[in-house]
Structure 1
Amino acid sequence: MREKQAINVVLRRQTEVEDHKYKARLHVSIIVVRLLLKIGLPFCGHDKSVNPKNKGLYIEVLKSIRETSEDIFNNTLENAPKNNQLISIKILNALVQCFAQEVFLCIQEEIGQDVFALLVDESSDVSKKEQRAIVLRYVDSLAL
């Protein structure tokens, strides 16, 4: 047997290539999610038709970023496996939840045992959807 053609060597090489492609997709997804969260913009549009003109900001920003790198272009959207494109709303919500957890841990670390105030306000908009605003007030260690 030739060592380079052994099944375990070929599978390991194939797994490393797929792992690299997945990490490239995940990295660019995190960049887009971070940007949209930082600016406070929605990820998806409200048009749920089969071929909407506006596919949402997440897809549009992802399309713009993928034009900057051939590696990203070759591993995202239609060039990625159909079940691993990282564009599902469940995956995006999971990424947002990870960011929320990190922000919560940073705030918790900074507040420590100090006093804080939490203000929650909820109202319905014109379409009868509930909108909630949450405000956390605390004095950070730099102000002392």
Structure 2
Amino acid sequence: MSYPPDIRNQVDGTRKQRFIASWFDEFSNWLEYSIEKDAAYCLYCFLFTAGYSERGHDTFVFEGLAFRANDESENSLNQGNFLELLKVLASCNEEINNVVLKNAPNNLRLTSPDIQKDIINAAATETTKVIITDLRDDFFSILVDECRDVSIKEQMGVVISYVNGSGCVIERFIGLVHVHSTSAASLKKDIEFLFSTYGLSISSLRGQGYDGASNMRGEFNGLKSLILKENSSAYYIHCFAYQLQFILVAIAKKHSSISSFFSTVTRLVNVIGGSCKCRDML
């Protein structure tokens, strides 16, 4: 790795901060330096922070687009997140650049839709294996929420929380499950299926965190109650994020200007979203 030609002192008030070139030797696996901004970054922040790339790759990670784009031709200005990310990796690593995209044989480019899905599924599988290995056979808690996606399918996201070998509390996303019913019994069945996929057991649960919906926290037939009947040690805690959301909503409604703004936006969305002609006009 070449050292930056100009490493200047940075002055922050009365305190001087200086980047030391020898840090590259000690932290070569993740340390990067921006000559333009005269600042140090971890490799991932250096790659994906807005303003990094002159070719327009600084926004694709955050633009909320689908994995693939409608137009993935070579002349497209946005070939989708998969190909754009591959371009970034190739521009940062000569070994990768020599064997991908135009430099790869036509039958070995590995960019077809099916191959893209296979690659991302393989990455997800391997990532989840690492998470389960880190969890070992210890106790854990779950955080669960469900909502509709843009294709009008009900999806349930599952996050596990546990204490790793270093004594740190870790939260990891382990799966997104398409649920055909949002009843408590159906959600429990889907959670059990996900657990069985990764060798987890409800008997190892020590905590549950959901929102306040009746199918989640119902005292008799809610998801938390069904799990508690099977494992009395899986204590339920109302999700603090939802509690904070309720507080913010309640406070906002008390402010007439904010309440009026969101009411207007809601009506506008309903009017435009309910008509294809209105959406085309907009």
TM-score tier, shorter chain, comes to 0.5 to 0.7
1:73 shift after superposition: 4.2
Count of aligned pairs between the two proteins: 107
TM-score, structure 1 normalization: 0.52
Partner amino acid for 1:122? E
Partner in structure 2 of residue 139 of structure 1: 163
Partner in structure 1 of residue 145 of structure 2: 121
Flag structure 1 segments of 5+ consecutive residues without an equivalent.
1-34
Partner amino acid for 1:93? K
**Same amino acid, percent of matched pairs:** 35
Structure 1 or 2: larger helix share?
A: 1
1:127 shift after superposition: 4.8
For the pair 1:98 / 2:122, whether they are aligned, the reply is: yes
- 2:135 corresponds to which of 101, 105, 111: 111
Structure 1 or 2: larger strand share?
A: 2
Larger RCO (CA under 8 A, 6+ residues apart): 1
Cα–Cα, structure 1 residues 114 and 56, in superposed 2: closer, same or farther, change >3 Å?
same
> C-alpha distance in 2, partners of 1:124/1:76?
36
1:135 shift after superposition: 0.8
1:56 shift after superposition: 0.7
Partner in structure 2 of residue 29 of structure 1: none
Flag structure 2 segments of 5+ consecutive residues without an equivalent.
1-46, 49-60, 169-282
Partner in structure 2 of residue 55 of structure 1: 79
- 1:84 corresponds to which of 108, 130, 143: 108
SS in 2 for 1:138: strand
Bigger CA radius of gyration: 2
Cα–Cα, structure 1 residues 126 and 71, in superposed 2: closer, same or farther, change >3 Å?
closer
CA RMSD of aligned residues (A): 3.5
TM-score, structure 2 normalization: 0.30
SS in 1 for 2:68: coil
